[in-house]
A and B are shown apart, each in its own frame.
Chain A
Amino acid sequence: MKSSNSQWKTRLGDRIPPHLATELDAFEHEIALKKQGKIEDRVFAETRLRRGAYGQRYDNGQRADGATTRTLNYPSPNTKGPNTMWDAPGMQRIKIPFGGLNAAQLETLADLAEEYSDGIAHITTRQDVQLHFIHIEDTPSIMRRLAAVGITTREACGNSVRNVTACPIAGVCRTQTFDVTPYAKAIAYFMLGHPDAQNFGRKFKIAFSGCRDEACALVRLHDYGAIAVTREIDGQTKRGFELWVGGGLGPVPQQARLYDEFVPEEEILPVCQAVGRVFARLGEKKNRNTARLKFLVSKLGIDEFRRLVKAERELLPYDPRWTDYLKDIPHYKEEALKPPSLLQIGAAKPAGFDPWYASNVYRQRQEGYATVTIQLPLGDITAAQLRKLADISRQFVKETVRSTVEQNLVLRWVSESDLPALYTELKKLELARPLANTIVDVASCPGTDTCKLGIASSRGLAGELRMRLASKNAERDEAIGGLRIKISGCFNSCGQHHVADLGFYGVSRNKNNYTVPHFQVLLGGEWTHNAGAYGLAIGAVPSKRIPETVDRITGRYRDERQQGETFQAWIKRIGKAECKKMIDEFTAVPTHDQDPSFYSDWGDPREFTLGDIGVGECAGEVVNPVEFELVACEREAFEAQLELEKGTIDKASRMAYESMLHAAQALIRFKFLIAPEDPDKVVEDFRTQFVDTEIFFDPFVRDKFARDFLRAHEEAGRPRTTDTAHQLIEEAQLFIEACYSCQARMTAVPAKASA
């Protein structure tokens, strides 16, 4: 940690708003108390999470090196959370409300990345910035330096209101109803630290979009998503929001439900507060796996949820902040640095300008101005690039920079005749790649690079796909150039794989007595229409064969699409059975002797293991019929999807449930060689042998998948809707995945002690 830490408070004292200074002093005291052993791990963990200080891979003091699992002997025996070593590097998440950044903030991020991290700032899929390999004792200095330029990390993680996201072209967008920026800003600071948002069982995510049809804010995957609309009332045009609630991704993705077609602008803050109160009061607290708002909305039904929120709204004591900001909105205007101008069509342009202009430049609703996207590989930008970008933002625009949910940055209000000069400056920094909004612009969560929960290397795969697609100029391909690829390292969906044309999330399979990294393939997600549809998994492919899989799927789409047919429409037309056939030939894994590369992940030469995410458990030799049985269960769950597509809901539900039952049987048979046939007995055995013993527990979501199965058994035979059948299929797929993981843990070679 930095030896200058003790000096920043004095140095920056008068530049930090007093209320933030007080908060940061308190956090620093909590760190001191934790070092003295006066705060419980559990409490301190939530404390630091609410300041955005997150854990990172290997912080439990163990790391598999490809041959053995070694103990990392961090110097301090102290911990910063349960099973989390004090000196282990962590991640600092930095909230950037609506993605808005100015030049001083870019410079500060550059300095922090260089001095405390690894020289890189990472833009996330929710417009945050993340710094990795941070020492916990450096975090107060980092937070003070951020506070001095108007940034708080408060509630960037933990069970709180996370970063409020918004369309990065809000205010300059040609299809917006109105600029949502001031509303996003107002709600971000209204809910920040609000007493009614301090007792949530889980996180709460808010997004604002200026229109229904684009993708920029992904409203329908948020807990509280607002789309700008207007309504004529008493002859006057009134601003308001189409409000969606209870959306979310993760292991059980759920699209938000329509709360109200029109919430007047003056109500968007108090309704959020009322939703927060209902969530805090009735949301699950004990079991974090069912604690998101989406579960409460599902449990209550949207009508009852709406009734409760409306009743709560009536009870709220008046708060002038609900509407104070509205009086400034008519005067709210982001300013341009230069007067509008037009790009001279005949004028000489620098080499490479035209493709960049085609993919990275957006003509604003304000004539003579453009917004430029700076495409960042894997969302990463260096400290030097950030600093130069700060200069560029002063030279060409009035520091109007925003981050995007596609892990890029945009510069708004570029006077069009400046575009060639801006291109030249960006090109010097290698920040003018003509790849924005294309298939090459692959989004990815950190995955196994740094995330404790990662199963497979999402960044490694994303980097490989980027390289291969770019080498083929796939971004210029008329058919596939505009498709989106999104990758998550596990089922938690931080890479937003559900809403991509081609989505992938990391899983593992036991093959030939080794654990092999795989990715589940999801097709048919819809990025536009604010994340209009979620894709469904069609099968798992070895990590090393995903590039071929992408080539096959995109190639067939290119060859077979009908005129004007979208990728989603094509997937729907050919059907999931055909989709599965496309990937089937890529599922084979050669033996370790034939090709050992299959047994390590992209960008990581170590032999693949799940040991870094959970505690291994030895059950002796592998007995392998279970592998085949679980494959059959996967197929059964897949066939349930096909039935659902046909509209035979009862059959689909039964098949999904039976796939879970058979998977449970397979596990019982794996452990005891025999298994009962009677479903009640299967459940009883599963409960006593796998749930009560916690053998089946996932290291992260604990008993969630087991409970899904037990509930499916209780509800077997009851009528279901399309939505609940869909959810059951999702749960069945995850339960089968969990059976694979459980079996892998039971057969894992025990960790050897380090030398």
Chain B
Amino acid sequence: MKHRPVLDVSELPTYAFGARSPMWWGTLGFCVLEGTGFALAVGAYLYLAFLNPQWPLSASPPDLIWASLLTAVLLVSVIPNYLAKKYAEAEDLPKTQIYLIVVLVLGLAAIGLRFLEFDRLHVKWDQNAYGSSLWALLGLHMAHIITDVADTAVLLVLMFTRHAHGKRFSDVGDNAFYWNFVVLSWLPIYALLYWGPRL
């Protein structure tokens, strides 16, 4: 078929931030499907909680201290995460590097706190269905923290190489988006596992 040019696209930009970028939509897609996974795991926990006359089953709920510290760390991390994204969009490399380091350190602290907590839970996964669903939710969320911390680490290293320009700044924005999802998805789990049994 013969062509009749009606539109010139040669002057269009080659990348953009936020919802204009396909990667943003891809990240959103994965957040939605993983969020569905969280919702269903929470659903399973609630289902078992309603089914059993006593819940938690023969164990006290996990101590507040470690998870509350972790929640605080995650909430604080949102600020440097926002700044990393903001400076990435301004393509300010030194500031982007600094805030990525802060996010990474806070992420590593969150992983450390989680491991400390694992040793101090009052129930094991193979003790009863309460233990199983508690460990499943904590494990599922920890997998997300580790994934994004690893992603942040790789991105940070990249930002110190010759590749640190252009589209990589857009990657920082998408990484920040995913980290917000990791933080946000923790809050209902925290309320459910730690405050639910104390109501």
- A and B associate in one complex: no
